Amino acid sequence: MTIQSSVTFKLLDDTTIPWIAWGNGTGDAKVKALDCGRAALESGIRHIDTAQIYHTEKETGESVKQSSLKREDIYVTSKLSSHDDGSSRSLDEVVPAIQESVDKLGSVPDLFLVHNPYVAKPGELKSLWKILEDLKDQGQLKSIGVSNFRPQDLEIILEGAKHKPVVNQLEYHPYTLAHLQPILDIQAKHGIVTESYGALTPLLRHPTGGPLKPVLERISARISKVHGKTIDPTVVLLLWTRAMGVVAVTASGNIERIKKMGEIATLPDLLTEEEIKEISEVGKKVHFRHYTEHMENDFALPDLPNGA
Ligand SMILES: NC(=O)c1ccc[n+]([C@@H]2O[C@H](COP(=O)([O-])OP(=O)(O)OC[C@H]3O[C@@H](n4cnc5c(N)ncnc54)[C@H](OP(=O)(O)O)[C@@H]3O)[C@@H](O)[C@H]2O)c1
């Protein structure tokens, strides 16, 4: 039996978000953010993910302007990042930094995230979130959310929050499922949507692909036959992400791949419930992440092999 999923997900604040985004924070997508952003929009992608620290907000705004689409038909995400040297933002820097993002983008982003909990100085995370809540109330920001937040970070801002974060953008794929479970439990309780970056890690960054690789290859072969078009194993991972109710933030600086990404955006549900479950179950037997950073600090790792 196949499941029914939509090309957009509903957020806590009653807005909707396209299930797949093209991001310009990594690889060639970052270097060629304007041309690739334009190509992504022409190919059918309706969601661009940028951040202050990527230095691609201007190119993001320009690609939106140069496209034949109306601004309201495109979903733009940006993020309040730390300084380029990694140092945190003082509270009085937050409003001007957000204004700078809006100026570079040429419009208010549909979603604005706190890039990670260390953007705030120690002990100031709650106050920083309050600034975002106030800007939302004043109509200067639209949806607000977070990224790379562990359970303890979520708990700080959720306590007495006027506006809960609508999303938490994380490295999310089958090999992080076991580790992320405490975060996913909090998010399920509060209705916070997960956004996945690094979704292709099991296939592209794990040294061997681990036990998931043959499973994804088998599913890819089955659905390519049924669909009459090649659906490669990376696409299977993205479709699994959607089936899990998680927004996929992927990237490419390769025009041919960007075109395929546009086609993926409107693919029907091709995975069966059994296949979705199998990908999750096999993934949960391994722990492997590409972007370690602080996600392994003060957040217990599961006792699992890396599956090499
Ligand atoms: N919030 C955060 O802290 C955070 C952290 C990391 C990333 N992000 C966001 O998420 C976006 C995506 O991150 P990601 O790069 O980790 O995502 P990903 O989807 O795991 O990987 C995308 C990369 O995979 C390559 N690729 C895609 N399909 C491929 C295929 N079939 N075969 C071989 N290579 C393939 C692309 O290279 P080509 O260019 O050659 O196609 C691209 O460099 C970033 O750009 C950024 O917007 C956010």
* pLDDT at site 6: 52
pLDDT value at 1 more than 70: no
Residue numbers in the known binding site are 115
What pLDDT, on the 0 to 100 scale, is given for residue 5? 47
Confidence of residue 307 (pLDDT cuts 50, 70, 90): confident
Residue 59, classified by CB atoms within 10 Å of its CB into exposed (0-12), middle (13-18) or buried (19+), is buried
Q: Is the CB of 118 under 6 A from ligand 1?
A: no
Phi, psi of 252 (to 5 degrees): -160, 145
Q: Sorting pLDDT into bands at 50, 70 and 90, what band is 292?
A: confident
What number does the ligand 1 atom closest to the CA of 205 have? 20
Q: What is the CATH number of domain 8-200+238-268?
A: 3.20.20.100
Rg of the chain in Å (alpha carbons): 19
54 catalytic? Reply is yes
Confidence grade of residue 308 (pLDDT, cut at 50, 70, 90)? confident
**Both structure tokens of 247:** 């927004």
Question: Would you say the CB of residue 197 lies under 6 angstroms from ligand 1?
Answer: yes
Nearest in space to 53 (alpha carbons), one of 21, 88, 28: 88
Best residue for ligand 1 mutational test, from 48, 197, 224, 254 (most atoms within 8 Å of Cβ):
197
Give 232 Cα–ligand 1 centroid separation in angstroms: 16
Ligand 1 touching residue 241 (CB < 6 A):
no
pLDDT in tens, 188-208: 999 999 999 999 999 999 999
Beta strands 111-114 and 47-49, pairing class: unpaired
**Nearest residue by C-alpha to atom 6 in ligand 1:** 197
Name 159's Cβ contacts closer than 8 Å, sequence gap at least 6: 126
**Mean pLDDT, the chain, as a whole number?**
96
Is residue 249 lining ligand 1, measured as CB closer than 6 Å? yes
Q: How many Cα neighbours within 13 Å face the side chain of 127?
A: 12
Going from the Cα of 269 to the center of ligand 1, the distance in angstroms, rounded, reads: 22
Ligand 1 atom closest to Cα of 250?
19
Q: Is 26 in the pocket of ligand 1 (CB under 6 A)?
A: yes
Contacts of 147 (CB under 8 A, 6+ apart): 79, 113, 114, 115, 116, 168, 169, 170, 195
* Contact predicate 47/77, CB 8 Å: yes
Give the residue extent of every domain in the chain.
8-200+238-268
Query: Of all helices (H) and strands (E), which one includes residue 197?
Result: strand 193-197
pLDDT digits (tens, 9 = 90+) for 220-241: 999 999 999 999 999 999 999 9
Q: CA–CA separation, 233 vs 240, rounded Å?
A: 11
Nearest CA to ligand 1 atom 38: 252
Closest Cα partner for 180 from 258, 296, 261? 296
